[in-house]
Amino acid sequence: MSSTFPSRSSDRLDPLSDVISLLRPRTVFAKGITGAGRWGVSYSTFGHPSFCAVLDGRCRLTVEGHAPLTLEADDFLLLPATPAFTMTGFEPVSTTRQVPRAVAMQGAVRHGRRAGPAEVSILGGWCVFDAANSALLVSLLPGVIHVRGVERLSTLVRLLATEAAEQRPGRDLMLTRLVEALLIEALRAAPDPSAPGGLLRGLADVRLAPALRHMHQCIDRRMTVADLARTAGLSRSAFFDRFSRTVGIAPMDYLQRWRLAVAKDLLQRDGLSVSEVAARVGYDVVTSFSAAFSREVGIPPRQFAIRARASTGETAAGTRRRQVRTARGRL
C-alpha cells in the first residue's frame, strides 16, 4: 500500500485525516445490544477502540477514571483505548462481570428482562488499528468522546453493523472506509474547550491549527519552534506555552512523535531504505534518525522494518486463507 502522507509537494492540510489514515483499521466487529428492567454489566480493560450509538431509550455508563454518563437516543460514544467500564439500567443492581473479547465475538446481546420490549437499544462495536501506531491515537485524544445529536454517526454505525455481518465482495475495504468516516465524523464533532489537552483542542485553536497543519504538510522540512510560532502569529514563548497547554505536549515533541509514526508506516512497505525514510520525515542525518527511532520504539529502524514486513506477510496470508474458506463454503 502506498503512503498517504504529505511531502513537500503535497497539498494535504488535514492532520486529523492524516492520523486516521495512519491507523488503518483492519477488523471490525459490530452488533446490537438491548436491555430492559434490572440489569448491569461490567467489562474489564479491553485496550482496543470501541464505539456505540444509542438508537432508542437510554442507559447509564461509567468509564473508569471518568464521571458517569447518561446515554440517550442519538448519542455516540467513542473510547479510543476502552478501559474498564460498567453499563446499567436505572434500577440498583449488582453488575455481571463480562470478558470483552469473548462478548465481542457473540451475536446480538439482551441484558435484563427477556420478555417485552427493550428499554434501550444500542449498536456497539470495536475495531483493531495498525499495531505500530495504535498508541498514537490514544495519546492525542480524550479517553472518552461523547457526541450528542449527530444522526450521521448513527447512520454510519448501522452501515458498519450491516457490512460487518455480511460477506460481500469488497467487504474489507468498505469496513475500512466506514470506520475512517465514523472516526473523522466523531472527532470533528467532539472539540470541547474543557476537554483534556490533545489534537482536537489544538485543531480547534485558531492560532495553533495553522502550525499543526504545517507540521503535517511539511514533515520533510527542517523546522524550529520559532518557525512554528511565526506560522501561528505568536511570539516563541507564547506559542510554546499555548501549544504545550492545549495539545498536552511540547511542539517539537509532537513533531518528533508524528515524524516517527509516519516513519513506522513507511518502514513497513517494501522498497524504501532507512535513509530514504529518514529523509521523508525530516532527518538529514540517518544516524540521528536511527537514534531517535530506537529511543522511541525500542529497536533500530532496520530491525523494525524486517519484523513489520514479516508480520504483514503473515497477516495477508491469513486473510487469503479466510477468503478461500469463505468462497469454498459458498460453492
Domain containing residue 234: CATH number: 1.10.10.60
Round to whole Å and give the CA distance between 218 and 256: 13
- Domain assignment present for residue 253? The answer is yes
Number of residues that make up the chain:
331
273 assigned to some structural domain? yes
Q: What is the pLDDT of residues 69-115, one digit of tens each?
A: 999 998 999 998 899 999 999 988 899 998 777 776 677 889 999 99
Question: Is residue 72 domain-resident?
Answer: yes
Would you say residue 8 lies in a domain?
no
Last-in-domain residue among 188, 208, 239: 188
Question: 46 near 205, Cβ under 8 Å?
Answer: no
User: 3 in a domain, yes or no?
Assistant: no
145 and 171 housed in the same domain = yes
Q: What is the pTM of this model?
A: 0.76
Distances (CA, A) of 135 to 79, 266, 296: 13, 17, 12
In a domain, 230, yes or no: yes
Number of domains in the chain: 2
pLDDT higher than 70, residue 315:
no
CB distance 85 to 63 below 8 Å? yes
- Give residue 313's pLDDT band: very low, low, confident or very high (50, 70, 90): low
Range(s) of the domain holding residue 53:
19-188
Task: Tell whether 133 and 114 lie within a shared domain.
Answer: yes
Q: Tell me whether residue 287 is in a domain.
A: yes
Residue 314: inside a domain: no
Question: Of 54-58, 194-198, 215-219, 302-306, which range is least confident?
Answer: 194-198
Convert the pLDDT of each residue in 245-264 to its tens digit. 999 899 999 999 999 999 99
Question: What is the Cα–Cα distance from 265 to 259, expressed in whole angstroms?
Answer: 10
Compute the mean pLDDT over every residue in the chain, rounded to the nearest whole number: 84
Tell me which of 188, 214, 230 is where a domain ends: 188
